[in-house]
Structure 1
Amino acid sequence: MATTQTPDALLVKNYMAGDENALAILIKRHQSKIYGFIYSKIADREIADDVFQDTFVKVIKTLKSQSYNEEGKFLPWVMRIAHNLIVDHFRKGKKMPMLRETEEFSIFTILTDNSPTIEGQLITEQIEGDLIKIIEELPDDQKEVLMMRIYQDLSFKEISDLTGVSINTALGRMRYAILNMRKVIEKNQIILTN
């Protein structure tokens, strides 16, 4: 039975022999170091999550194909995979397509942690601040519908009754508000992900 004290090389061997839990231990053991490395290079939470996930998809594929031969050097090997994926990301100059995880294994089922971090809260506050600035730029009729729909959680029927316009007009204003916000976001290259 693998434990948190089992050496990396043995856990790798166990995983290759069919012990799925061995990989979970390896990921938990090294996740902060690997994720920290990725995030330090990319500094975008969503892209860093994608790269982290892709790193382990590649690790799994390599181990399952029995072509791993870095005996005892698991962490440096994983770091090299992560580094190569980061380089690929910057080479493409855009968000990398994510290799979808298989149904048998999802990295984030092992790493679920729903507690908000201070950093996460600060990023959320920053995003909300940016959004409010963008909303302020909208024409009044669009801003009104958007605020009612998102911040007051009103239905389009309620918005229609309150503003004295048809439901279609309210829907149209919401649509234009979103299109205008998208234009501002793209023009200023604002990243609204955390």
Structure 2
Amino acid sequence: MTPLSRLTDHELINAFIAGNVNALETLILRHKDKLYSSIHFLIKDKYLAEDIFQDVFIRIIDTMRSGRYTEEGKFLPWAMRIAHNLCVDHFRKVKRTPTIKNSEDQDIFEVLNFTEDSAEDKMIKTQSHHRVREMLDRLPEDQREVIILRHYADMSFKEIAQLTNCSINTALGRMRYGLINLRKMMVQKQIAL
């Protein structure tokens, strides 16, 4: 029997539907970092991000068990779309738009796995990450969202376009203008990363 970790997403989904709960666990472990990072970046609250992350998989399980899953071979973009929609629903409920705020809670840069650095290197990285976060905060929401999805969730422009309901060219344009705006901010503030 093939180990679950070698199965494709589609094969894991079929195994879960057939009753193998371990297949779902393998699927979650495979994609949890990208999903959680994207949610956390949009929500900016560790505990709320964890709740939404769980809600994403509850929706996924319900959809699979009811036989409504039809996204063959496209599990991650489908799951990202569910996560994105749940984040949007959250902001609609609290009647505000998502912003990236500096936080004392653990943020995405603490989740990323870096090799052990000296105290000086850690301080420099922390300052650089803080500067990047401040600059991202100043970008228009659509540009910030594309940059986050591309660089932190490692999504393709096609996936980003589907998730944000825009064309690939629009997603590319938002990325281009977002990066131009970040460069302008770096020049104006004479920031070197």
What TM-score does the superposition give when structure 2 sets the normalisation length? 0.48
- State which structure, 1 or 2, has the greater radius of gyration over its C-alpha atoms: 1
Q: TM-score, normalised by structure 1?
A: 0.48
